[in-house]
Structure 1
Amino acid sequence: MTVSTTSDRHAGQRAATVWHAWHAAGESTVLPDGCMDLIWTGRRVLVAGPDTGPYRYRADSPQSMVGLRLPPGMAPAILGHPAERLRDQRVDLADLWSGIVSDRWCSRLSEADDPATVLGEIARTRTWDPPTWLAAAADDLAAGVRVDECADRFGLTVRTFHRHSSRFFGYGPKTLQRIFRMRAALGDLAAGRGVAATACRHRYADQSHMHREFVELTGHGPSWYLPARPGDSSVNQASGQ
């Protein structure tokens, strides 16, 4: 799978990321990132729910896609459906909105010179008003702030914070925080930072803890994501959208 991205579109409070992907026939893997995507396949709009582990996508033939990756928590406000109901799924927009509405968007996308612009228009739809603190909460969790401290900052009980998190992010705040930490560690590994240094930098208890987290969230241990050395076929690279 080949992916290119830009980040100049907007959805609500935060910039959304436009990506273009070309899938060869066969299977590719998408890793969780705490976000949800609107994806134009050339025939229909798919909503990619928040993933809790590696999502295996199989293309029966070569396929080109355009997607809009929405900031964490924004998609439910657009779609009018809780993120937790879409967790680990790829759902046709027609299953969430009326056929008339989804068909109209598909027609516009089919005719558009730049489908990403139309996806951006979909993203400006608002069915719900998300909590004003949502983006700041995501930033706090990404920075490693404890869940109870984060809830207290916004005047919420931990239970209420968890309920809002499940509705808008798709899972509880602790799971979102684990995903953010994995993605940050993944960047260091891909840049060639060693496993031990990465585990320490991102405050894993030890390398074994980091290994367990990576296997659960990505399907592979951290060493899988280290850059391959010349002549070394024992170390592999993999990436998600």
Structure 2
Amino acid sequence: MYAESPPPPRLSGVLRCLWRSSVGRQLVVPDGCLDLVVAGDEVFVAGPDTRPWRSALGEGTVVHGARFRPGHAPRVLGVPADELANRRVPLDELWGRRGRTVTDLLLHRAAALPDVVARHATGMPDAELAVLLARLDRGAPRVSAALTGLGVGERQLRRRFTAAVGYGPATYLRVARLQRALSRAPRIRELARLAVAAGYADQAHMSRDCRELTGCTPGEFFGTR
């Protein structure tokens, strides 16, 4: 069982969703997000992935999570997202004494996840970063095209992007294409058509990215969805 629900309206700009799962071992693929997770007797931050990860939780373990919108996790966690890339970091390791207090709270009441996020959210959204993310999500063919006309130095914006998202815009572009393919796969079963619809140059391009980001062939990965 896996289910998502919308975050409270006050957190809609910070969180993409709240979720709950009890499926045990599962394949997790890159989606550009970080999650704050309550699982069994652990509370940890799941950093932004650039490769597939398979959870080792026992079947039936109930897991609760708060998924941050790309670029917003550092406003709550207080550390650059690239320091957490491809990592699962216990909250008490990240926040010290404060993390132990929050961990105890969430282990007893996972429903407090939104309150924890709201209590620790600081700063304002980065406007240029939001535009760049939106362009990449909508299917910009290249990072250079997405950077056009933003009025900020490219090198500076790339640094800000990496600190906020967890990796650079070129990697995010690949992740965004995979997610577009995943969202379209239930309606487009032919892989060549799916590749074009998701913004890949061709089916071979999708195959390379799919293998690197999911560890599966497109037939294996999309064929079961």
TM-score above 0.5, yes or no: yes
Q: Does the 8 Å contact 2:20/2:64 carry over to 1?
A: yes
* 2:104 partner letter: S
Which secondary structure does the structure 2 equivalent of 1:59 belong to? coil
1:71 Cα offset (Å):
0.3
1:226 Cα offset (Å):
3.9
Q: Does the 8 Å contact 1:189/1:225 carry over to 2?
A: no
Select the residue among 105, 109, 115 that pairs with 1:108: 105
Structure 1 residues 79-88 or 9-18, which shifts more? Answer: 9-18
**1:119 aligned onto 2:113:** yes
Aligned to 2:151: 155
Structure with a larger share of its residues in helix: 2
Select the residue among 140, 143, 152 that pairs with 2:138: 143
Aligned to 2:191: 195
Aligned to 2:21: 21
Q: Hey, what's the Cα distance between the residues in 2 that align with 1:92 and 1:5?
A: 23
**1:7 aligned onto 2:6:** yes
Which secondary structure does the structure 2 equivalent of 1:16 belong to? strand
**1:212 aligned onto 2:183:** no
Select the residue among 96, 99, 102 that pairs with 1:98: 96
Q: Hey, what's the Cα distance between the residues in 1 that align with 2:5 and 2:103?
A: 22
CA RMSD of superposed structures (Å): 2.0
* 2:159 partner letter: R
Q: How many residues align?
A: 222
Aligned to 2:129: 134
Q: Does the 8 Å contact 1:8/1:16 carry over to 2?
A: yes
1:82 Cα offset (Å):
0.8
Aligned to 1:230: none
Large movers: runs of 4+ above 4 Å: 127-130
Structure 1 residues 183-192 or 28-37, which shifts more? Answer: 183-192
Q: Does the 8 Å contact 1:34/1:51 carry over to 2?
A: yes
- CA gap 1:158/1:126 in 2 versus in 1, 3 angstroms: same
Q: Hey, what's the Cα distance between the residues in 2 that align with 1:69 and 1:213?
A: 23
Gaps of 5+ in 2: none
* 2:6 partner letter: S
1:192 Cα offset (Å):
4.3
Aligned to 1:34: 32
- CA gap 1:153/1:43 in 2 versus in 1, 3 angstroms: farther
- CA gap 1:141/1:226 in 2 versus in 1, 3 angstroms: closer
1:14 Cα offset (Å):
4.7
Q: Does the 8 Å contact 2:80/2:164 carry over to 1?
A: yes
Q: Does the 8 Å contact 1:18/1:67 carry over to 2?
A: yes
Q: Hey, what's the Cα distance between the residues in 2 that align with 1:95 and 1:75?
A: 16
- CA gap 1:176/1:64 in 2 versus in 1, 3 angstroms: same
Structure 1 residues 52-61 or 181-190, which shifts more? Answer: 52-61
Q: Hey, what's the Cα distance between the residues in 2 that align with 1:179 and 1:22?
A: 25
